[in-house]
Structure 1
Amino acid sequence: MEVKLLSHTPEPERVVATAARLCYAPQAAEEVWAGFTPEKQQEFIDKLVDYGHLSPFEHVAFTFAITGVSRALSHQLVRHRIASYSQRSQRYVNEAAFAVVVPPTVAADPVAQEEFMRVIGQIQAGYNRLTALGIPKEDARYLLPNACQTQLIMTMNARSLLHFFSLRCCRRAQWEIRALAWKIRQEVIKVAPLLFREAGPACLVQGKCSEGAMTCGRPYTREEVDGEA
């Protein structure tokens, strides 16, 4: 799995601070923008986070290239609706030699991995036979498994990313999307540390688990989260 931050709103923290300050300022937007030093940005954003006033975070967006993930992951990812996605199409791209994501539990068991790859090989052979018979790729793809690797571009605003982290950095999140969430978190903290100083699982950020009776009972510590950065 690889995650690369392709682009983001320039000066994201200044944008958020300006948008929030403008709501209460008699000055023009340009004056508010000019008056925000890095120190004032930090002070203002800290207040926004502490108050839970996060709507100004929606003014900045981050675009990522995500590769080497499974279709099982991408089906979960698009459940985060306030985002934009462009995914490699199995309708138009020939999957004659598709790569797969192997779950760690399978990879750790030689017998299980052998069985997993045996079935993948059968699917691959079946897909190739269908396309050789002239079946369109858009129909042959019905054989393809959730393990099939894909790549996509995702754009999400800062507020949606904070919500994404609160759910997907959780220990109970499915292993692959949890790994993706921590990688994305690493990327955004590099360019907007003030916006994402409280980014992480709900147990740490909100002080309580959001999973209710399904809690794992092992809340993250600050040291663990900092270790993921």
Structure 2
Amino acid sequence: MANTDSVTVLTEPQVYLVGKQIVATLELSRFLTDHGVSWNSDSETPAEVLTETAGRVCYMSFAKPRPGGNATYLNHIKEVGHGSVLEHGVWNMVLTGLSRSLTHELVRHRAGFGYSQLSQRYVDESIAEYVEPDIIANDPELHAVWLESVKHSHAAYVKLAEMLNQKLADPAAAAAAMLPPDADRTTRRKSARQAARSVLPNATETKIFVTANARALRHFLEQRGSTGAEPEIRKLANRMLDVLAKDSPNLFGDYRKNPLPDGTFEITTPYPKV
């Protein structure tokens, strides 16, 4: 993060793992007892336990599990491509330090994902931060051009928001903007910001809450961690992989990170498209 006069410049995304599943152990035990079997997973990670449980339900293979435990079981699931089982493992993350360009790509991942993103209509972007591409940040001349453009857009937003707030205080102008005659300051500010945001660049930083299952996340990592992906979203994919592989090595530990000339990493796996 760098503070440059009136704007803050970011180059690295952040991933906060804020929510995970729990296993209702008493109910799982009741199910097993009702069906005359006894079984315990050797994993303590809820997503790993639940995906293994889901897979074993398909064949009722609780009584005589293969040796090797959860890691071997889930590795076999990936080998045979039984990807629907992985849809039962779910994580909640808050992602920050992302540009609007990136989230336009991120939200194209629909199946298995849920999103809640920062609203530029309600949030004052006069204190916005901006995400600079590495290829620009690493070149002083390019950086100067980029920074000047961002500063200009930022200043224009602040000025427009101020002028629009003043304008909408006039009942006639408020009526022309389809605001109720008794519109309060909050409503007027929202209307001002939603118009002023039109000058903000794609580099404007945003925050997004993401909920996704293991299968969808694997697809994301493989698509956005590839050499053909845009560098910023490849950075995010790598950061997410670090968090997910630490939390659930049996579901994400098969991935490898290969260094690329631009300083990012390609994500590969022997089990693609599970």
| TM-score, length-scaled by structure 2 | 0.68
- 2:88 match: 59
| 1:70–1:148 CA contact under 8 A, matched in 2 | yes
- 2:54 match: 19
The offset of 1:5, in angstroms, is: 1.0
- The one-letter code sitting in structure 2 at the alignment partner of 1:3 is V
Matching of residues 66-105 of structure 1 within 5 Å: 66-82=95-111, 83-105=113-135
Does the C-alpha gap of structure 1 residues 66 and 6 become closer, same or farther in structure 2, counting only changes over 3 Å? same
Residue 9 (structure 1) aligned to one of 21, 29, 35: 21
Does the C-alpha gap of structure 1 residues 13 and 140 become closer, same or farther in structure 2, counting only changes over 3 Å? same
Residue 138 (structure 2) aligned to one of 108, 113, 127: 108
SS of the counterpart of 1:23? helix
The offset of 1:97, in angstroms, is: 2.6
| 2:75–2:250 CA contact under 8 A, matched in 1 | yes
| 1:91–1:137 CA contact under 8 A, matched in 2 | yes
Matching of residues 59-208 of structure 1 within 5 Å: 59-82=88-111, 83-134=113-164, 136-199=192-255, 204-206=269-271
| 1:162–1:199 CA contact under 8 A, matched in 2 | no
- The one-letter code sitting in structure 2 at the alignment partner of 1:6 is V
Deviations 1:14-72 (A, max 9, x none): 1111101111118xxxxx4x997994322321211110111111011111111111111
- The one-letter code sitting in structure 1 at the alignment partner of 2:51 is V
- Provide structure 1 residue ranges, at least 5 long, that are not aligned to the other structure: 27-31, 208-229
SS of the counterpart of 1:195? helix
Task: Give distance in 2, aligned partners of 1:169 and 1:179.
Answer: 8
Does the C-alpha gap of structure 1 residues 162 and 199 become closer, same or farther in structure 2, counting only changes over 3 Å? farther
Q: Where do 4+ consecutive residues of structure 1 move more than 2 Å?
A: 34-40, 197-207
The offset of 1:205, in angstroms, is: 2.8
The offset of 1:203, in angstroms, is: 5.4
Task: Give distance in 1, aligned partners of 2:52 and 2:200.
Answer: 47
Q: Matched residue pairs, number? A: 202
- The one-letter code sitting in structure 2 at the alignment partner of 1:175 is P
SS of the counterpart of 2:115? strand
SS of the counterpart of 1:153? strand
- The one-letter code sitting in structure 1 at the alignment partner of 2:14 is E
How many percent of aligned residue pairs carry the same amino acid? Answer: 34
- 2:73 match: 44
| 1:14–1:36 CA contact under 8 A, matched in 2 | no
SS of the counterpart of 1:205? coil
| TM-score, length-scaled by structure 1 | 0.81
After superposition, the CA RMSD in angstroms is: 2.4
- Provide structure 2 residue ranges, at least 5 long, that are not aligned to the other structure: 1-12, 23-45, 166-191, 257-265
The offset of 1:123, in angstroms, is: 0.8
